[in-house]
Structure 1
Amino acid sequence: MSDPFIGLTLLGLLIALLASGVWVALSLSLVGLAGLVLFSNAPSGLIIASTFWGHSHSWALTALPLFILMGEILLRSRMSDDMFTGLVPWLARAPGRLLHVNVFGCAIFAAVSGSSAATAATIGRMSVPELTKRGYPESLILGTLAGSATLGLLIPPSIILIVYGVATEQSIARLFVAGILPGFMLIGLFAGYVAVRAWMNPNLIPPIDETFSFKEKIMASRRLVPVALLIGGVIGAIYGGLASPTDAAALGVVLATILAWASGSFSWALFGAAVMSATRTSCMIALILLGAAFLSVSMGFTGLPRNLAAWISDMNLSVTALLVALTLFFIVLGCFLDGISVIVLTTSIIMPMVTAVGIDPLWFGIYLVIVVEMSQITPPVGFNLFVIQGLTGIDILRIAKAAFPFFLLLLLGVVLITVFPQIVTVLPNMMGN
């Protein structure tokens, strides 16, 4: 039976299952089972049992629920409000003024939550009412929030980088370090866009009445100290080689809990709510990863990834042509699936092609995350768009229109790391193996 027929059959089955509302994890498992039963002679029951058992106690995966719990604790403490208050005095006179609070606030919170949705919800809850009240244009309020919240996927500790590392057997510590410079690059692009818009049309940004002395700025900055300690503790432990990502995640939970209690805004009830929310999210992601692992194994038995990689290799596509095709593919796929599902659905098929043309899997992980970031602000299933719609009640198409310039900036980011791959690789190479 031909590989195209096998591939189209399994793809059609997966689309049908997802369209009918079957859970992503269950859909992946059923497609993997169909591949084993219909297109191989392998013992399906034994493979299911061994794959699920073998992938259900991954030590690297332990970091995932811990970083999620850290973000949930911060979401329920006063530290997120303190972060907003500490940034305002420093950004009040910048071109674009308080719109930069969205950009830098999202960047800071992304570095301690690892979640795009949590970043959009937390910063949006504070900034949207405040910026609207001060007369900032709706399109820039929504656009900066939607675009900057995607940084939660890239800036370490990133949940989606953990998923990619587990799915492709890449070093999570090296992936985290590889995401630092691209994260700063995107922050610069977003802040630069806001500044250019403000310079081109000064009337767009309302005047500000408040003035802050240097002493007041320093006093306000004290509110940023707890978040800085948390970021420094987690990222410093990984980058300095003092702790693995899993150990650093445990350290992050301990530090987040201590700082939340010290802020006087945390309680046992809130801690329980954070644990339950983190448990639900972690179980969902773990089930999806188990289904994806089984699908990956079953695809290996059908021979489809190997033959597909050989087919791509025979086409003699250049690296650039392959990346253009993959970027379009991931953007379209991201219109209908969340970021984690995109990663786990495609890695087993895509990675053989990527390695066949000589692309560094570490670099490809950062490229893939930036492309998935683009899908977070692309309708109809742009997750950040849903979060912001829930916060504001504004029509999702208006939010998508406001976020479109940031979609283009993310696309520019993909071009920049393709032309200058050192943006991704220089820090991991300094770190070593």
Structure 2
Amino acid sequence: MKKDTKLNTTLDTKLVNAGRHKKFTGSAVNPSLVRASTIVFDSVAEMSEAARGRDDGVAYYGRRGTSTTFALSQAMIDLENAAGCYVYSCGTAAITSCLLSFLSAGDHLLMVDSVYEPTREFVDETLTRLQIETDYYNPLLGADIEHLIKSNTKVIFMESPGSLTMEVQDVPAISRVASAHGLVTMIDNTYATPFNFRPLDSGVDISIHSATKYLSGHSDVMLGVASANERTWRQLQKNSYQLGQCASVDDCYTTLRGLRTLPVRMRQHSENALKLASWLSSHSLVDHVRHPALPTCPGHESYSADFSGGNGLFSFVLKEFNTDALTKMLDSFSYFKLGFSWGGYESLVLSATHFSKRRTATDWHATGHLVRLHVGLEDFEDLQADLATGLNTFQDNL
């Protein structure tokens, strides 16, 4: 069992109890679901007292959150050893708010080249319009990122692994370089969740999650969270509020419920995915598999050093490039449904070839199709048979 060294508690136990303070739950097991826009006060003195605590989890106005929001924030603070956590309407909102909170016109951003496409679009379009300069860097760069730092560099953004091509970054090395130069580091930690990697413990300033994915775990929530250390929390909190960021308390409640089963879900996702990845590695149609736990994955050494486990997400590259055969393969699946996102209980498949080619700092050398799988909680043999049928369909249509 993994131990939380700060509290000497197993992380499984912590996930069951995080955010379940009596001020949120009363005598119930779960926090109350409190929906509110206006918060009313019985006196001027009470309103003034609430105003003094409005940045510290005291109900003041609905956009700042209710006790349901604060319960989720506290859970993430507990899990990530953070000074504070802000809750957003989705993962992209969390990412964009974090970047806008620490970048101004004339600043320079270092952004990992394997980043999630909506993040890249925001950088290339919105940040460029705001006169913020960006350089993309090789996700395998590690401490050598120091050579890319300029006098106006303010932020280094990481995503590890990359959600399509799965490169794993040396997060501690990059964080040490950033700290030495007084830069703010951010990471999209959606893949790992706090169950498998806690970035703040490795020197990162802000850890961002699309709670839409594994934290909630059932494909019925849109939510984002960003947990920050002492150095960055107040600035992130103030700017996120000024940007109008807030989230549905129903989604906060549902995500809290999802957190309780995160360990058992992640273990099953990981077991199914690793067995399928190993099987695909020896398949005659597959060029290579990009699963962080396998030595064939770029950055595997960093994964082994920093992560305590995996999940259901990985990619594989076919030897052949044939769009018609790929289309027929994708249409043939029964359990692997076509769909964006990942992190729910169901299995998904996505053709990601065109995404992988949108690079500026690194080259993509594979000649076959890149296919991303999210392996769900279905029976392994059913999923293996589904993949086998699909690959046979691909072969038959070459």
Q: Normalising by the residue count of structure 1, what TM-score does the alignment of the two structures yield?
A: 0.28
Q: Highest relative contact order (Cα 8 Å, sep 6+), 1 or 2?
A: 1
**Larger helix percent:** 1
